[in-house]
Amino acid sequence: MKTEVSEMEERKGKGEVMSGTLDLSALPLECITLIISFTSPRDACRLSLVSTALNSATESDAVWESFLPSQFQALIPSSLSFSSKKQLYLSLCENPLLIEAGRKSFWLDRVSGKKCYMLSLRDLSIIWSDTPDYWRWVSIPEARFDQVAELLSVCWFKIRGKISISMLSPMTHYKAYLVFQANKDYGFNYYPVNLSVGVVGTEGSKRSAYLQPKKERRIREEQPTPGDDVQFPKARVDRWLEVEMGEFFNEGCVDDGELEMSAVEIEGCNWRGGLILQGIEIRAITPN
C-alpha cells in the first residue's frame, strides 16, 4: 500500500519542497504493528482490509493487547482461556464479566475499547430497600446479576450510586442509564423522576423522565403536559428498558474523585411500584 506523505523539506539554496510516497507494506511487520497499536479497534479492522501485510499486522497479539485495559489479567477468571488477544478483546465486548463479588458488571465498548460498567442494585443506595413491604430481592434468568430489586410500593423513590473516576477510561464521553423492567407498574405516570450524573460535590448533568412507558401513561387533569426535554423509557436489545440519567466527560485529570448518579422523585408523595430494577449502566459513547 502506498500512502502520500508531505515532506516540507527545504533544500539548501533553492527553497524547494519535495513530495513523495511511502510504501507502508515495505516496512517491517513490527513497525506496522506498532503504528496500528496507536489507532483504535475500529481503525484496525478497517486497515485489515487494505492489504495482506496490514491484515497480518492487525491480527497480532501486540495490536489487540494495546486495546485491552491495563491489568486486564486480573479481570479474567482462571477457568477461561483464549487463543489470541483479539479473541479475548471480542469476548470482553460481548460477554460482560462480574467483578467486585458480583456487585458490578464490566465490559469493553466494541468500537473504541473504552471501559463500561453496570452497577447492580446491591452496589447502590436505595431508600427503604431493607424493608420487605417496599422492596423485594428476586432472581430472574434474564438479569445480569444474581439478584435484582422488585419495587413493591413506595411513596419516596430515591436511588444513588457512585463509581471511582479512576475506573473509567480517560478522555472518554460517558452516559449513565437507569435499567429496569415495567412489571404491572403504577404511580410513575404522575410525576417525572429527577435524574443526575456528576462528580461528587458538583451540580453535574441533569435529566427528567417518566418511568412508565409512554403508551401506558394516564394523565391527570392537574398534571402539566410533559415538555420536550422529559424522557420516556426506551427498549434495549436485551429486552430491558432504560432512561438516560446524564452525561460526563472524563478528562483523565482526576483519579481520586467519584462519579455519582441519582434517580429521585419525592415531591408527589403518591404510592408507586411494579418496577424491577437491574442497575445503573455507565456506557462509553463513541462518535460516529
Q: Is the pLDDT of residue 103 over 50?
A: yes
CA distance to 27, 44, 61, 239, per residue, from 38 (Å): 16, 10, 14, 36
Q: Is the pLDDT of residue 255 over 80?
A: no
**pLDDT greater than 80 at residue 228:** no
Neighbours of 111 (CB within 10 A): 16
Reported as a pLDDT band with limits 50, 70 and 90, residue 5 is: very low
Distance of CA 182 to the CA centre of its chain: 22
pLDDT score of 133 more than 50: yes
Burial (CB < 10 A; 0-12, 13-18, 19+), residue 173, is middle
Closest CA to 159 of 250, 266, 257, 256: 266
Q: Tell me the pLDDT band of 84, cut-offs 50, 70 and 90.
A: very high
Residue type, 112: S
Cell numbers that stand for 45 in this block: 479492522
pTM: 0.85
The pLDDT assigned to 83 comes to: 92
When computed from its CA atoms, the radius of gyration of the chain, rounded to whole angstroms, is: 24
d(CA 91, CA 85): 10
* pLDDT band for position 104 (cuts 50, 70, 90): very high
- Residue 13: its pLDDT value, please? 43
Return the HEC string of the chain.
CEEEEEECCCCCCCCCCEEEEEEHHHCCHHHHHHHHHCCCHHHHHHHCCCCHHHHHHHCCHHHHHHCCCCCHHHHCCCCCCCCCHHHHHHHHHHCCEEECCCCEEEEECCCCCCEEEEEEHHHCEECCCCCCCCEEEECCCCCCCCCEEEECCECCEEEEEEEEHHHCCCCEEEEEEEEEEEEEEECCCCCCEEEEEEECCCCCEEEEECCCCHHHCCCCCCCCCCCCCEECCEECCCCCEEEEEEEEEECCCCCCCEEEEEEEECCCCCCEEEEEEEEEEEEECCCC
Q: How confident is the model at residue 256 (pLDDT cuts 50, 70, 90)?
A: confident
- Centroid of chain to Cα 156: 28
Mean pLDDT of 210-217: 75
